[in-house]
Amino acid sequence: MDESQLRQIRRFNRLVTRRVGALETNYLRRGRPLAEARLIFEIGADGVDVRTLRSRLGLDSGYLSRLVQSLKAQGLIELAKGGGDGRRRRVSLTRKGSAERAAYDRLSDRLAASMLEALDEAERGRLATAMGEVERLIRAASVEVAAEAPNSGDARRCLDAYFSELAARFEGGFDVAKDDSARADDMAAPSGLFVLARLDGDAVGCGGLKRTGKATGEIKRVWTAPSARGMGVARRVLRTLEAAARDMGLRTLRLDTNRALTEAHALYNKEGFRQIARFNDNPYADHWFEKRL
Amino acid sequence: MDESQLRQIRRFNRLVTRRVGALETNYLRRGRPLAEARLIFEIGADGVDVRTLRSRLGLDSGYLSRLVQSLKAQGLIELAKGGGDGRRRRVSLTRKGSAERAAYDRLSDRLAASMLEALDEAERGRLATAMGEVERLIRAASVEVAAEAPNSGDARRCLDAYFSELAARFEGGFDVAKDDSARADDMAAPSGLFVLARLDGDAVGCGGLKRTGKATGEIKRVWTAPSARGMGVARRVLRTLEAAARDMGLRTLRLDTNRALTEAHALYNKEGFRQIARFNDNPYADHWFEKRL
DNA sequence: TCCATTGTCTGACTTTAGTCAAGCATCGGC
DNA sequence: GCCGATGCTTGACTAAAGTCAGACAATGGA
């Protein structure tokens, strides 16, 4: 790993924890313990399960319970039984709590403005751009791609989202029933593989590998959630599948794609896939690719 | 102020405090209170005055004193009388303390490496570049430019550094005695102005304004410390002086510069100064500029 | 139906972080 | 050689943050 890159990251980490972190922690408490302030922020407009809060903030359940009671005593939140599971509690902001949150929002804006004050217009633009880039790449770096059963809840949700996107983007719509090229069990281990990309626990992408011959496999269902685009998720999914294919002893990888999916087209080219002649009768395919491993 | 820029900064702040900040604070404590860990980091290889630590970390003197005693009890640091002033205490790391610090260094490297792991080479490069840009601009934004007596300690140090840089860069060297165009009191209020740029309390740049006629002034001694270059310090100094000139009722600003100072040349052009004919007999000047206010 | 698991709550703690005021030695200027 | 200011230390606090174990109810699969 490049020494100068490590040094740059360390410098950045220190600057940012000391400058931004210190400001955030001092500014945003509004005379209230920081943990409570963070909680108000995290609860948001729609309410959350206590369970979710606990894992998101990484707090001890006893500690969190007390924080929640304290906010309730202040009239800032309400507690209700959570949906299906009678053990769960759902917290949501009261009117007063929302007002408090709005006040934090304003403070947060003021803080951001104070970081821009001394800069001129050109520098502000550059700062915003560079921050956007850092943000995107840090998030990209914390995406985890791992094998998952293709019929798990998250996997199904990804595939459904993928299919409805295809239905919206393909000229003649899309009907899974007409595309029998990859059923769930085709992509199940050991003859295939299905992977999910997760960002902070949420599924944000997927992809599958299906064995089609002794040394041939096919890539299917590569998809990225709209919220995670531009972060290289699809590329990582593709590379993970490719590595698995190598491990399975495959020598050739194939895939097909529709002309409407221009990003996919570009990705496959960039990753070394070359366009070949039609190799299947998928009614939705316009282009066929192959890569020798 | 641009709404989308504010939003970008808020998103960035949140991501970075939660991801980087949380990691730093949890990773780097090594079973020790965070405050102590930070102290070890801040003491560094050469040792520091307790006084300096206090202002750098913004700690209460009683609190800091106890932290220091605790580290001493653990055999990590030594306390000695500080140089000239018998009231001061100087702390330095023992062998054991240095080892501890090295362990923090390794952890910090590992943390940085973990942020790069999932990225490919191109993305790593982009991340490092963007982080560098964010760092530079955040630092730039926290530079403060303010009036200062041209004979204060910090002002003298800046001017001396400026003069020795000129001596090193000018073809025939530089001797202040031969340049009587701006003595300290020429730049003192109310007929002139001297400003210092500070970053975290350290002087990192300076510049002076000297009245040369009823409606004419001259900019002198604009300098940026090497550690703070590329952050727009000189530009801000220049703009501050220009604003002061306007307030003093001046209509014309002039300045001269040596051909060796190419960055200065570029800056003056960019800030709207136009090259004019020689207007003084400064032996070190090669170019003369003017700007109508 | 039983039972291990999960989600939440409560009580009883400890540690960390930080504040405030008083005290002592040293300094710098007069 | 006096005196107010400065640098550090000490004692006596408080609040925030966090841990751990036990209790209880709801859940979900055997």
Q: How confident is the model at residue A143, as a pLDDT?
A: 92
For the cut 80, the answer to whether the pLDDT of residue B95 exceeds it is: yes
CB atoms within 10 A of CB A188: 17
Contact call for residues B117 and B169 (beta carbons, < 8 A):
no
Would you say the C-beta of A88 is within 7 Å of strand C?
A: yes
Return the minimum-mean-pLDDT range out of A74-78, B44-48, B160-164: B44-48
What mean pLDDT do residues A37-44 have? 91
Sign of CA pseudo-dihedral A198, A202, A207, A210: positive
Q: Which residue has the higher pLDDT, B27 or B259?
A: B259
A residues 215-234 lying closer than 8 A (beta carbon) to B: 232
Give the C-alpha separation, A24 to A46, whole Å.
Answer: 24
Contacts of residues B65-73 at CB distance under 8 Å and 24 or more positions apart, as own/partner, are: B67/B35, B67/B36, B67/B39, B68/B39, B70/B36, B71/B36, B71/B39, B71/B40, B71/B97
What mean pLDDT do residues B57-68 have? 95
Would you say the C-beta of B43 is within 7 Å of strand D?
A: no
- Report pLDDT digits (tens) over A66-120: 999 999 999 999 998 877 788 899 999 999 999 999 999 898 898 899 889 889 8
Give the C-alpha separation, B17 to B15, whole Å.
Answer: 6
Burial of B238 (0-12, 13-18, 19+ CB in 10 A): buried
Choose the CATH number for B3-118 among 3.40.50.720, 3.20.20.70, 1.10.10.10, 1.10.510.10: 1.10.10.10
Would you say the C-beta of B86 is within 7 Å of strand C?
A: yes
For the cut 90, the answer to whether the pLDDT of residue A236 exceeds it is: yes
Q: Give whole-number Cα distances, B291 to A26, A121, A228, A261, B288, in Å.
A: 44, 22, 50, 56, 11
Q: Which residue has the higher pLDDT, A254 or B283?
A: A254
Nucleotide of closest approach to A66 (CA, C1'):
C9
Would you say the C-beta of B82 is within 7 Å of strand D?
A: yes
CB spacing of A130 vs B130 below 8 angstroms: yes
| Chain A contact probe: residue of B1, B7, B11, B17 with most A CBs at under 10 A | B17
**SS3 helix, strand, coil % of chain A, rounded to 5?**
50, 20, 30
Q: What is the DSSP string of B91-131?
A: EEE-HHHHHHHHHHHHHHHHHHHHHHTTS-HHHHHHHHHHH
Q: Provide the pLDDT confidence category of residue B246 given band limits of 50, 70 and 90.
A: very high
B169: Cβ contacts below 8 Å, ≥ 6 apart? B258, B260, B261
Residue type, B18: R
> Domain A144-292 belongs to what topology?
Aminopeptidase (3.40.630)
CB atoms within 10 A of CB A49: 15
Nucleotide of closest approach to A67 (CA, C1'):
D17
| Chain A contact probe: residue of B4, B16, B270 with most A CBs at under 10 A | B16
Residue A204 zone, left/alpha/beta (φ > 0; ψ -120 to 50; rest): alpha
Q: How confident is the model at residue A202, as a pLDDT?
A: 83
For the cut 90, the answer to whether the pLDDT of residue B86 exceeds it is: no
Give the C-alpha separation, A112 to A20, whole Å.
Answer: 10
Question: Which of B15, B117, B138 is closest, CB to CB, to A115?
Answer: B138
DSSP code at position A282:
-
Q: How confident is the model at residue B173, as a pLDDT?
A: 84
Give the C-alpha separation, A89 to A47, whole Å.
Answer: 10
For the cut 90, the answer to whether the pLDDT of residue B1 exceeds it is: no
Please name the residue that has the structure tokens 């000239």. B84
Please name the residue that has the structure tokens 């520091």. B48
Q: How confident is the model at residue B222, as a pLDDT?
A: 95
Which chain A residues contact residue B15 at CB under 8 A?
Answer: 135, 138-139
For the cut 80, the answer to whether the pLDDT of residue B108 exceeds it is: yes
Q: Looking at chain A, how many residues does it have?
A: 293
CATH class label, B143-292: alpha beta
Q: Within 13 A of A157's CA, how many CA atoms are on the CB side?
A: 11
Q: How confident is the model at residue B90, as a pLDDT?
A: 93
Cis amide bond preceding A283, omega within 30: no
Mean pLDDT, chain A, rounded, equals 90
Mean pLDDT, chain B, rounded, equals 90
B234: Cβ contacts below 8 Å, ≥ 6 apart? B205, B207, B222, B223, B224, B263, B264, B267
| H/E stretch holding A54 | helix A50-57
Contact call for residues A57 and A42 (beta carbons, < 8 A):
yes
Domain ranges of chain B: 3-118, 143-292
CB atoms within 10 A of CB B68: 20
Sheet with B77-81: strands ordered across:
B48-49, B89-93, B77-81
Query: Which protein residue has its CA closest to C1' of C11?
Result: A62
On the question of a common fold for A3-118 and A144-292, the answer reads no
% of chain A surpassing 90 pLDDT: 61
Provide the CA B92 to C1' D1 distance, Å, integer: 36
Alpha-carbon Rg for chain A in angstroms: 24
What mean pLDDT do residues B259-272 have? 93
Return the SS3 of A100.
helix
- Report pLDDT digits (tens) over B210-224: 999 899 999 999 999
What mean pLDDT do residues A173-184 have? 77
Q: Which residue has the higher pLDDT, A44 or A75?
A: A75
Give the C-alpha separation, A138 to A131, whole Å.
Answer: 10
Within B139-215, strands assigned E span 143-147, 192-199, 202-211
CB spacing of B141 vs A119 below 8 angstroms: yes
Return the SS3 of A287.
strand
Q: Provide the pLDDT confidence category of residue A246 given band limits of 50, 70 and 90.
A: very high
Contact call for residues A127 and A116 (beta carbons, < 8 A):
yes
Return the SS3 of B263.
helix
Return the minimum-mean-pLDDT range out of A42-56, A123-137, A205-219, B246-260: A42-56
Give the C-alpha separation, B265 to B289, whole Å.
Answer: 9
